[in-house]
Structure 1
Amino acid sequence: MRHLPTRTSLRRVAGALTAGLLCTAGLAAPAVAAPPAAAPTAPALDDGLALTPPMGFNNWNSTHCRADFDESMVKAIADIFVTKGLKAAGYQYVNLDDCWALPSRDADGRLVPDPARFPNGIRAVADYVHDRGLKLGIYTSAGSKTCNSAGFPGALGHEYSDARQFADWGVDYLKYDNCNNQGVDAKARYTTMRDALKATGRPIVYSICEWGENKPWEWAADVGHLWRTTGDISDSWGSMLSLLKQNLPLAAHAGPGHWNDPDMLEVGNGGMTDTEYRSHFSLWSVMAAPLLIGTDLRKASDATYDILGNREVIAVDQDPLGRQGTVVSSEGGRWVVAKEMADGSRAVALFNESGRARRIATTAGAVGLPAARAYTQRDLWQHRSSNTAGTVSATVPAHGTVLVRVAADRAWAKYPPAVELGLDADPLVEAGTPATLTSTLTDLGRTPAERVRVRLTGPEGWTVKAASPTTAASLPTGRSLRTRWSLTAPPGTPTGSYDLTLAASHRSPAGVRVDSVLPLTANVVLSPPPGTSGFGDLPWLSATNGWGPVERDTSNGEQAAGDGRPLTLGGVVYAEGLGVHAESTVEFYTGAACETVTADVGVDDEKGAAGSVAFEVWADDTKATATGVLTGAMPAQPVTADVTGARVVRLVVTDGGDGIDSDHADWANARLSC
């Protein structure tokens, strides 16, 4: 289902309203069609399909129902799969989403491809895709109509005839949505289509897209090959993060032929940075999620192809053991997720949820590896191997992910020692005033790091001076080179983010040189004024949101800046505050000069009783207060947090654990006392 711009959870409304209209008219909702008498009941799925998570393309995230979704696009994507090496990397399916059909069936009740989009029909497109060694997917809904507002025909009551059409066209994959379902039991609707597909005799991968509302992971292993565990993804950090958190706890339900699906990839669509897209791709892979490209590959950048085509990361997703990664730790947004691999190694994602570079660490034992003198560690984005004495750690950039594969390998000694670069504090700089930072280079390996050098560089015009040694002849296991730096932004430098680079080199005992680079961000900041200030009047260090931008003094409108309404909680209108949409984090520099945060918080009245969120205030890395889950049916709740001594205050809104539909959250009358 598509999450349309108004974001009022239309997928649920569509089913409920249609059922209500039928009841009002005195009509019964259509029953799920019974199978023909000759059709046997389908057994549990042991058909050999989707033994690894499906990989391919779906047009929806980049085109929706636009006119450029047509036969020529589909053919072009198939050609690109071949010419750009995506087919060779494992991508197979070229999938059509909603809007491929006419709004009405023909006189015989058959689906009719839109002749403007597909003048030669679906069979011709399938033949073209098959001729390139690829497979074709198609979309419909387990309801009377699909999810698009135009109301294309759904398959409810037509399961067997529609499945037969799909098979006759050469379809290899069916995405089966959940709109306009007339209130018919989900398991019954999806099981009927399973039986219908089985009756065709054609192997068709079956994707259950009911948004996780009926917990399909508990009943669908013998119904479909994959099932959505979440609502729809959007091309934003907050959306990706929310879906990640919903899917991670379900690892026990995934395996060969039955996968948890947190929705399609947004990599390359422009709403996130390349760092965030690498995290998206890494985390979907460590979760053994389907990898369905959602960007228009005809327009994709080289960086997008580099992410989507990373075969070492893809190998994590496609590992034949079929384990979904599990959470080892997640304290303070420092996530460690580990996935057992068929060869006994572990894929380990060190994921930094926060807006600042953070050190994230674990051990080989903690991720399930046996005790050993040393281990081989392969960085799957840097494409290089090293040895480690057992510590797996890195300073991870904001919103970044370091993905490594660690093994108890007897050949560890042939690789250079792993080293870790980091800073002891966030680079927060007041213009014209020197800031003191300390960099650390630590040998994590079993062998010494030799001829070690470090260098810190900043923007043109900034002054960067080392105040202690930048070299070391040798660092044994666990030892560090610590270097103090003085960093000064020129007077008058505007507030904002600026790039820093911490670079290092070292040599292995065999003389092999290894270069390391840690990209960092320095923020030029201003201390808040003394007294009490509204957060809507203060500059923020960073802001992320589930839909649309964070708004000052209005609610969140989900699209362009300034499209919100007056902040309203429990019928009370507030002139000041912040309007956000879960998942959301807004960070402010407080310079250790402030004491108290106050606000009235809740789900904005514009969402009625819908929405469920939780509010948190963080003082540096300490949670100062939290509300628990609040819904749109609850009144505003006052919050007060002691932030004394904090350099940075974070206002965080999480999704309440049920996805981000209708999660318009207000920090009404939010104030900071300094």
Structure 2
Amino acid sequence: MRRLPTRAPRAVRRRIVGAMAGGVLCVGGLAALPAPASAAPVTEPAAAEAESAATPPMGFNNWNSTHCRADFNESMVKGIADIFVDKGLKAAGYQYVNLDDCWALPARDADGKLVPDPVRFPNGIKAVADYVHSKGLKLGIYTSAGTKTCNSAGFPGALGHEYSDAQQFADWGVDYLKYDNCNNQGVDAKQRYTTMRDALRATGRPIVYSICEWGQNKPWEWAGQLGQLWRTTGDISDSWGSMLSIMKQNLPLAPYAGPGNWNDPDMLEVGNGGMTDTEYRTHFSMWSIMASPLLIGTDLRKASDETYQILSNRDVIAVDQDPLGKQGTVVSSEGGRWVVAKQMADGSRAVALFNESGSAQRIATTAQAVGLPEADAYVSRDLWQHKNYNTAGGIAATVPAHGTVLLRVSVNPRWAEYPPAAELGAGQGLFAEAGRPVPFDSTFTNQGRTAARDVSVSLDGPDGTDWAVKAGGPAKVPALESGTSLKTPWTVTPPSGTSDGSYQLTLNATYRSPQGTRVTTQAPVTVQVVTAPPSGASSLGDLAWMSAVNGYGPVERNTSNGESAAGDGHPITIGGTVYAKGLGVHAQSEVTYYTGRACERVTAQVGVDDEKGTKGTVAFEVWADDQKVASTGTLTNADAARAVSADVSGAQVVRLVVTDGGDAVDSDHADWADAQLSC
């Protein structure tokens, strides 16, 4: 699937590794997991290693932004250390500056020692470590538990050289080792990683040990006796589908996390450009509530102000770094509406209201449902707005598409000092044709224990447009007591000639607390401007869609997925049969069409595209509004094309969904061949 510059794609990496037992768990079954095995007795220097990773490690790794480019060098690494200090990242908790692959020459010296690339690191690794240490930071390095690293150029791995390499790392002043999984010659995973654990301990230097085994042998069940963190998944990429798939694999593993032992769903992609800032805030929120290592993967020399604001949000970082060391667990996950809660050392709960879907949704839970004791009132802090509110126990918000509201809720005797929390939202699934009005209702609900005074609601059309917006009823009220609501009917009309697409209106509310504190809040209202579908049978590869989310690269029309660039697909081919029309996608994928209650049936031939050889496992689903009306179950490249026929009568929206078949998204190129919509 992934052909990152100069480093073998994960499909190739797994082929090098050879057949391995086990696999990763999917969120589809959130059943209780067996309790993790108790860790081995901690000895020196293991005690110091565990202490340095008592909370999830925070830092930087260059791979996601530079790969093996020439600008990965001594100057860059020193510059990142400077930025940590100058931009306040060190003060926010980031401490590791980690080198990934390509730092060494392709061959060892005559004594079998590793040799730093003299062009990239002319003064050697120790000089870089000394500089990083002078800033009060720590240095990390990379190698593989095999004969070669994962880079296609084949840099030296540590298999058979563990004690010598570990001593070199210690002599250079290395504080952190990422130990990858390529070219391992079929040696048992536990054996390979145990040998390096022993070699690191033999140096006498505390070195945090990151086991990058990709989750292939369920390292969460055994790696806690060896290292401080272990990868639970394959490599992340800078896309919504990749991030979502990895999050879902990591969430069920909460029982295995704790101080000094962390599930690692891979590095952060925040700021790399493949997702929106809303999606990056979700990425950072969910990694934090999962108590994940926070390793920045963007080039901080080029990062935007928004990227720095996300990465340095201390309220969110405090969730990740909470000393109790609990990983958040799923409270509910229906219809793309996720509630994930994390127990905190002070007795509070961090609560993520995460919206997986492509339109704004109301997500709700209660203080007791997330584990708090019954109380008259609670304090809820919005960790992105940095504001405190009192609540009677309800926890709810209208969350933007792919967004997350992250809260910290506590029993607090000073709750009355804060203004009441309010839930502001509007009807969802709003569709309008250009020039024609669409009605809906907004609702402002006082969730607090105290009254909300002087409540006023308004609605703004999309920025830079002339949409007609009209209130059809009361938009103001002198007071709302706890648990009561103001409901306002609205009509909005997109101007004639408005292009099809998704438009965001903004619902605004202002109110005052009993003490007179003025509060303002907003909620998104998404309206899809649409064109009625044509009569008869139409190829879905030719029709305009409302939205398209793909796990790797864009959704392709009438070709396979190909790779990451637009238009790089091939003729759609399943089991040797070539199809002229259809959609080429990659799990996790969702393509949405407006059908306006005028269509009857979706048909297609579906399967894994031949371009991935023997790789790929996927499952196809057809959804009519909120109902799943067709599902194939898991298909592999060995399966012939499967016929799908789904009744979508009466649906406003049809969604074509491809999931990863339960084993992550490696090589999951999927085809909706000869896909047609009949209206």
Q: TM-score range by the shorter chain?
A: over 0.9
1:397 and 2:400 correspond: yes
Kindly indicate whether the alpha-carbon contact (under 8 Å) linking 2:45 and 2:206 is maintained by their aligned counterparts in 1.
no
Q: 2:235 maps to what in 1? A: 232
User: Deviation at 1:427?
Assistant: 3.0
Give the alignment partner of residue 473 of structure 1, picking from 474, 478, 486.
478
Residues 287-321 of structure 1: CA deviation (Å, up to 9, x unaligned): 00000000000000000000000000000000000
User: Which stretch has the larger CA shift, 408-417 or 276-285?
Assistant: 408-417
Kindly indicate whether the alpha-carbon contact (under 8 Å) linking 2:547 and 2:592 is maintained by their aligned counterparts in 1.
yes
Q: Distance in 1 between matches of 2:419 and 2:635?
A: 51
Cα separation, partners in 2 of 1:44 and 1:71, compared to 1, 3 Å: closer
Residues 305-362 of structure 1: CA deviation (Å, up to 9, x unaligned): 0000000000000000000000001001111000000001000000000000001111
User: Deviation at 1:50?
Assistant: 0.4
Residues 518-544 of structure 1: CA deviation (Å, up to 9, x unaligned): 234332111111122111111111111
Q: 1:10 maps to what in 2? A: 12
Q: 1:672 maps to what in 2? A: 677
User: Deviation at 1:7?
Assistant: 4.6
Residues 348-402 of structure 1: CA deviation (Å, up to 9, x unaligned): 0000000000011111111111111111100000100111111111000000000
Give the alignment partner of residue 66 of structure 1, picking from 69, 72, 76.
69
Unaligned runs of 5+ in 1: 18-39
> Could you say what secondary structure the match of 1:555 adopts?
coil
1:102 and 2:105 correspond: yes
Cα separation, partners in 2 of 1:451 and 1:66, compared to 1, 3 Å: same
Q: Distance in 2 between matches of 1:507 and 1:555?
A: 55
User: Which stretch has the larger CA shift, 305-314 or 527-536?
Assistant: 527-536
User: Deviation at 1:41?
Assistant: 11
User: Deviation at 1:547?
Assistant: 0.6
Q: Distance in 2 between matches of 1:332 and 1:607?
A: 31
User: Deviation at 1:2?
Assistant: 8.1
Kindly indicate whether the alpha-carbon contact (under 8 Å) linking 2:45 and 2:201 is maintained by their aligned counterparts in 1.
no
Kindly indicate whether the alpha-carbon contact (under 8 Å) linking 1:216 and 1:227 is maintained by their aligned counterparts in 2.
yes
Q: Distance in 2 between matches of 1:7 and 1:622?
A: 36
Q: Give the share of equivalent positions with the same residue, in percent.
A: 73
Q: 1:27 maps to what in 2? A: none
Q: Distance in 2 between matches of 1:538 and 1:437?
A: 28
User: Deviation at 1:498?
Assistant: 2.4
User: Deviation at 1:49?
Assistant: 3.0
TM-score where L is the length of structure 2:
0.94
Give the alignment partner of residue 430 of structure 1, picking from 429, 433, 445.
433
Kindly indicate whether the alpha-carbon contact (under 8 Å) linking 1:41 and 1:195 is maintained by their aligned counterparts in 2.
no
1:52 and 2:55 correspond: yes
Q: Distance in 2 between matches of 1:613 and 1:479?
A: 46
User: Deviation at 1:46?
Assistant: 3.9
Q: Distance in 2 between matches of 1:520 and 1:259?
A: 38
1:410 and 2:413 correspond: yes
Q: 2:443 maps to what in 1? A: 440
Letter of the structure 1 residue corresponding to residue 619 of structure 2: A
Residues 142-195 of structure 1: CA deviation (Å, up to 9, x unaligned): 000000000000000000000000000000000000000000000000000000
Residues 198-243 of structure 1: CA deviation (Å, up to 9, x unaligned): 0000010000001000100001111010000000000000000000
1:635 and 2:648 correspond: no
User: Which stretch has the larger CA shift, 591-600 or 128-137?
Assistant: 591-600
Q: Distance in 2 between matches of 1:359 and 1:122?
A: 51
Cα separation, partners in 2 of 1:90 and 1:553, compared to 1, 3 Å: same
User: Deviation at 1:42?
Assistant: 7.1
Letter of the structure 2 residue corresponding to residue 171 of structure 1: V
Q: Distance in 2 between matches of 1:476 and 1:621?
A: 34
Letter of the structure 2 residue corresponding to residue 613 of structure 1: V
> Could you say what secondary structure the match of 1:297 adopts?
coil
Matches within 5 A, 1:138-177: 138-177=141-180
Residues 452-477 of structure 1: CA deviation (Å, up to 9, x unaligned): 11111113211111111111111122
Matches within 5 A, 1:208-219: 208-219=211-222
Q: Distance in 1 between matches of 2:652 and 2:42?
A: 64
> Could you say what secondary structure the match of 2:541 adopts?
helix
Letter of the structure 2 residue corresponding to residue 10 of structure 1: V
Cα separation, partners in 2 of 1:452 and 1:526, compared to 1, 3 Å: same
Matches within 5 A, 1:463-612: 463-612=468-617
Give the alignment partner of residue 138 of structure 2, picking from 132, 135, 138.
135
> Could you say what secondary structure the match of 2:82 adopts?
helix
Q: Distance in 1 between matches of 2:650 and 2:410?
A: 43
Q: Distance in 1 between matches of 2:488 and 2:386?
A: 28
Residues 18-65 of structure 1: CA deviation (Å, up to 9, x unaligned): xxxxxxxxxxxxxxxxxxxxxx99789544230000000000000000
1:263 and 2:266 correspond: yes
Kindly indicate whether the alpha-carbon contact (under 8 Å) linking 1:567 and 1:579 is maintained by their aligned counterparts in 2.
yes
> Could you say what secondary structure the match of 1:76 adopts?
helix
User: Deviation at 1:618?
Assistant: 1.4
Q: Distance in 2 between matches of 1:648 and 1:46?
A: 56
Unaligned runs of 5+ in 2: 20-40
Residues 618-640 of structure 1: CA deviation (Å, up to 9, x unaligned): 12222222222111122221222
Matches within 5 A, 1:62-461: 62-459=65-462, 460-461=465-466
Q: Distance in 2 between matches of 1:177 and 1:406?
A: 39
How many matched pairs? 652
Q: Distance in 1 between matches of 2:250 and 2:436?
A: 45
Kindly indicate whether the alpha-carbon contact (under 8 Å) linking 1:43 and 1:222 is maintained by their aligned counterparts in 2.
no
Q: Distance in 2 between matches of 1:444 and 1:592?
A: 36
Q: Distance in 2 between matches of 1:500 and 1:333?
A: 22
Letter of the structure 1 residue corresponding to residue 137 of structure 2: L
Q: Distance in 1 between matches of 2:138 and 2:77?
A: 12
Q: Distance in 2 between matches of 1:472 and 1:641?
A: 48
Residues 396-443 of structure 1: CA deviation (Å, up to 9, x unaligned): 000000000011112111111111111112232210111112111111
Q: Distance in 1 between matches of 2:453 and 2:429?
A: 28
Kindly indicate whether the alpha-carbon contact (under 8 Å) linking 2:45 and 2:204 is maintained by their aligned counterparts in 1.
no
Q: Distance in 2 between matches of 1:514 and 1:498?
A: 26
> Could you say what secondary structure the match of 2:390 adopts?
strand
Q: Distance in 1 between matches of 2:525 and 2:481?
A: 26
TM-score where L is the length of structure 1:
0.95
> Could you say what secondary structure the match of 1:272 adopts?
coil
User: Deviation at 1:3?
Assistant: 5.7
Q: Distance in 2 between matches of 1:523 and 1:2?
A: 33
Q: Distance in 2 between matches of 1:43 and 1:587?
A: 56
Kindly indicate whether the alpha-carbon contact (under 8 Å) linking 1:42 and 1:194 is maintained by their aligned counterparts in 2.
no
Q: 1:28 maps to what in 2? A: none
Q: 1:645 maps to what in 2? A: 650
Letter of the structure 2 residue corresponding to residue 144 of structure 1: T
Letter of the structure 1 residue corresponding to residue 652 of structure 2: R
User: Deviation at 1:666?
Assistant: 0.7
Computed over aligned residues only, the root mean square deviation of the Cα atoms, in angstroms, reads 1.6
Q: Distance in 2 between matches of 1:250 and 1:631?
A: 26
Cα separation, partners in 2 of 1:185 and 1:3, compared to 1, 3 Å: farther
Letter of the structure 2 residue corresponding to residue 13 of structure 1: R
User: Deviation at 1:654?
Assistant: 1.1
Kindly indicate whether the alpha-carbon contact (under 8 Å) linking 1:496 and 1:523 is maintained by their aligned counterparts in 2.
yes
Letter of the structure 2 residue corresponding to residue 280 of structure 1: H
> Could you say what secondary structure the match of 2:301 adopts?
helix
Letter of the structure 2 residue corresponding to residue 274 of structure 1: D
Q: Distance in 2 between matches of 1:630 and 1:197?
A: 43
Letter of the structure 2 residue corresponding to residue 541 of structure 1: M
Residues 471-491 of structure 1: CA deviation (Å, up to 9, x unaligned): 111112222111111111111
Matches within 5 A, 1:7-46: 7=9, 9-16=11-18, 45-46=46-47
> Could you say what secondary structure the match of 1:298 adopts?
coil
